[in-house]
Structure 1
Amino acid sequence: MVRSSKTILSIATIAMLSSCTGLPRSGPDPHLVESQATVKVSASEKKVGIDYALVDINKTVLAHASQTTAPTLNAGFGGGRGGPPNIVLGVGDVVQISVFEAQSGGLFIPVDAGARPGNYITLPNQTISRDGTVSVPYAGKITAAGRPVDAVQLDIAQRLANRAIEPQVVISTITNRSMEASVLGDVKEPKKVELSPAGERVIDVISEAGGLSSPGDETTVTVQRGSKSVTVAYNKLSDTPRENIFVQPGDTIFVNRDRRTYLAFGVTGQSGRYDFDDSNLSLGEALAKAGGLLDDKAEPQAVLLYRVVDRDFLRSLGVDTSHFAGDQIPVIFRANLRDPAAFFAVQKFPMQNKDVIYVSTSDAVELVKFLTIVNSVTSSTRDVVDTRDKIRN
């Protein structure tokens, strides 16, 4: 009788598996997708092949995470409390040079000049050449690029002193191409902004470009200076005076609308993509926005956060990074919410843009799934046996 039941169970199982293609599906069968492929590109054991580090969130990690997740303009470039940049002449600037003499009959002012508003002449406008010089009659080429206006004026006057009568020189900047900063991106009027001796800060030049064309909560500002680039949230820039640093000549400011979001998967109240809304968001707040953990399905000691971090961050934790290539290393941060103290940690652990949260399913739930399948097969077998007995009777 037992052997007969086992035979019936085997036949029923084979029939069920063989008829899977006839069961309802929302798409193609995965086995058919693989078997009918002309070419298959896959890794051994079907693994993704990305090496990652697993880091438990504790007080040590929390201390380093809070220090490394907030780039600042003040720390990156300085200048939040310093003075404005020194304004100097540069290649491409258009200048006007005027030479004054104490009386007529000198080098530039003839004796018979007659009535005139002043004993001076104004030379034609000229552009500071690529070698950084300007030309003044009887003084020759004068180095101007990289020097302040008053230094160049004094240099020209000294060269004319033995020929002109008590010469004095005034240089007016017509076009200051070398002292400009570019403002690009999500502003109303992208442009080059000419910097003044008074000094302009980042928000000043953004205002010169017409202001933001996107919501401040979703806007980031990147300052690129030479080979260095630092990005901060616009709200942080406007709310923190020391972040609003002075702009230097040649800086490029990118204003970018960037929806700061994170993804939540697994057995949360509601999986999906969520906006930060606020400039700062903790892991605890992110879990709450996603509906928290489902207490009848979630495994509290396996709350995982996926992020790519700098190699230096792992080194600061004492992690051996020799197994990884490159400066960016994938890391899974794990929080054990069965530990009461972990709730303090997740409330202080800062989220970053494009983080991924995954809440694991409890082992007990997996066991219930298995028992459900076993019960379903057992019930099907019992029905087959009952049907057979009825046919015999």
Structure 2
Amino acid sequence: MLNVRLLLCGAVLLSGCDLIPRGAGLQSEVLAVPNSENGEEVVPEFAVEPITRDNLATFLHWPDIDNEHLRWIEAADQPNTRIVTPGDRLDITIWGTEENGLLTNPGQRSVTFPQTTVSAAGTIFLPFVGDIKVSGMSPDRARARIETEYEGALQSPQVQLELTEGPNRQVTLVSGVSAPGQVTLPHTNYTILELLADGGGIVTSFNNPQVRLQRNGTLYGVSADRLLGTPRLNTTLNARDRVFVEEDERIFLSLGASGTEAVHSFTKDTVTALEALTIIGGVAESRADAKGILILRRYPARAVTADRSGPDHPRTVFTIDLTTADGLFSADQFIIQPGDLVYVAESPVTAVQSIFGLFGSVLGINNQLN
């Protein structure tokens, strides 16, 4: 029986690691560099960067992975008035004090002209005075201008003017709200938040919604959260602007001894490593190595530098030790980039405990044999 015991125990000790099912590699295994067969120095295929207080400032200045950096247009104060523009329609009625005047028939004191459309040149044509420039004026100023033009032809003329905005005054709310469609600019200081509110608000199912503005062939973008929290970003809309809202498409991944192994969306504009660990459900307490939190990132070749202004290798592994205060504080400042892989290594203690468990099982079998 002694021989049986020795054989079984030896098998466990020699091949214990092969017998233990693990969901992740040890940190030493993940970061291992293969040995050279001819004895020459092996150049690592990746760089390893510990996330600490000393290195954090350097990492924060390295290039972002997200190539799409959309600009945004800040708000420009405009008078909260209506302005006549080409394509608008005007209903004009002229009142006079005398009967049987130049524009009226006997017994009439007023005349209403057919609805007039402001031309591309910004003018309208009126009988006896010809073309009058009205674009760029408020309705009250345009009315006063018409009265002035008729003072030489009528006695004490009074003008009544009603403005109907034309199709050139519309903006389009494309998608991402409860009621998309075309909206006519009600005044010159109509903002993007007013438009989103008039469209019924952003749909609540979106994750970190992103607001997009198309203007004159250029696309601008900002997150809804930042737009709501920064008044100066509530930009004033122009005619023919197109606005839509979409979900944040950026993702990062989690693998290993983490709470979940999945693809995760960014919940806000900036996610730190510590927040990412929260999003993935933390680490598996029974088998994770708190010293072995790895963030694997691939940089574009153009970002690689030799002076620490950027990574020195396109493949970079950042390491975090959550068992120290420095590691915890630094993890709360290190920024996750789109496409990052958060990898939680297996704890070596777990492997040792599993070996001893198997060793105990062998002893139990041996005792039964005795």
State the TM-score, normalizing by the size of structure 2: 0.61
1:333: how far off?
7.6
Q: Which moved more, 1:89-98 or 1:257-266?
A: 257-266
Identity %: 22
Among 341, 348, 362, the residue aligned to 1:357:
341
1:124 aligns with 2:114: yes
Structure showing the higher helix proportion among its residues: 1
Contact 2:122 2:134 (8 Å CA) reproduced: yes
Q: CA separation of 1:237/1:215 partners in 2, compared to 1, >3 Å: closer, same or farther?
A: farther
d(CA) in 2 for partners of 1:94, 1:152:
13
2:321 maps to a residue whose letter is L
1:303 aligns with 2:294: yes
1:357: how far off?
2.1
Contact 1:133 1:142 (8 Å CA) reproduced: yes
1:134 aligns with 2:124: yes
Among 198, 223, 226, the residue aligned to 1:232:
223
1:252 aligns with 2:242: yes
SS in 1 for 2:72: helix
Give structure 2 stretches of 5+ with no counterpart.
1-45, 353-370
- Name 1:77's counterpart in structure 2: 73
Contact 1:72 1:231 (8 Å CA) reproduced: no
d(CA) in 2 for partners of 1:160, 1:331:
78
1:211 maps to a residue whose letter is G
Q: Which moved more, 1:272-281 or 1:249-258?
A: 272-281
Deviations 1:275-330 (A, max 9, x none): 44466532211023335567977695773354779x9x999x98489x9xxxxxx8
Q: CA separation of 1:212/1:175 partners in 2, compared to 1, >3 Å: closer, same or farther?
A: same
Q: CA separation of 1:134/1:270 partners in 2, compared to 1, >3 Å: closer, same or farther?
A: same
Contact 1:268 1:298 (8 Å CA) reproduced: no
SS in 2 for 1:264: strand
Contact 2:85 2:136 (8 Å CA) reproduced: yes
1:347: how far off?
1.0
Q: CA separation of 1:62/1:356 partners in 2, compared to 1, >3 Å: closer, same or farther?
A: closer
- Name 1:186's counterpart in structure 2: 176
d(CA) in 2 for partners of 1:102, 1:308:
80
Deviations 1:3-23 (A, max 9, x none): xxxxxxxxxxxxxxxxxxxxx
Give structure 1 stretches of 5+ with no counterpart.
1-51, 324-329, 369-393
1:242: how far off?
4.9
Contact 2:211 2:246 (8 Å CA) reproduced: yes
> Per chain length, whose mean CA-contact separation is higher, i.e. which structure has more relative contact order (CA < 8 Å, sep 6+)?
2
Among 196, 209, 223, the residue aligned to 2:186:
196
- Name 2:155's counterpart in structure 1: 165
**What is the root-mean-square deviation in Å for CA atoms of aligned residues?**
4.8
Residues 89-168 of structure 1 mapped to structure 2, 5 A cutoff: 89-110=84-105, 113-114=106-107, 116=108, 119-168=109-158
2:124 maps to a residue whose letter is V
1:153: how far off?
2.8
State the TM-score, normalizing by the size of structure 1: 0.58
Q: CA separation of 1:53/1:179 partners in 2, compared to 1, >3 Å: closer, same or farther?
A: farther
Among 187, 200, 211, the residue aligned to 1:221:
211
1:91 maps to a residue whose letter is P
- Name 1:386's counterpart in structure 2: none
2:57 maps to a residue whose letter is T
2:272 maps to a residue whose letter is S
- Name 1:60's counterpart in structure 2: 57
d(CA) in 2 for partners of 1:120, 1:314:
78
d(CA) in 1 for partners of 2:327, 2:233:
32
Residues 253-332 of structure 1 mapped to structure 2, 5 A cutoff: 253-258=243-248, 261-266=251-256, 268-277=258-267, 281-292=271-282, 300=291, 303-304=294-295, 306=297, 319=309
2:294 maps to a residue whose letter is V
Deviations 1:164-205 (A, max 9, x none): 223343331123433322111122321111222384433332
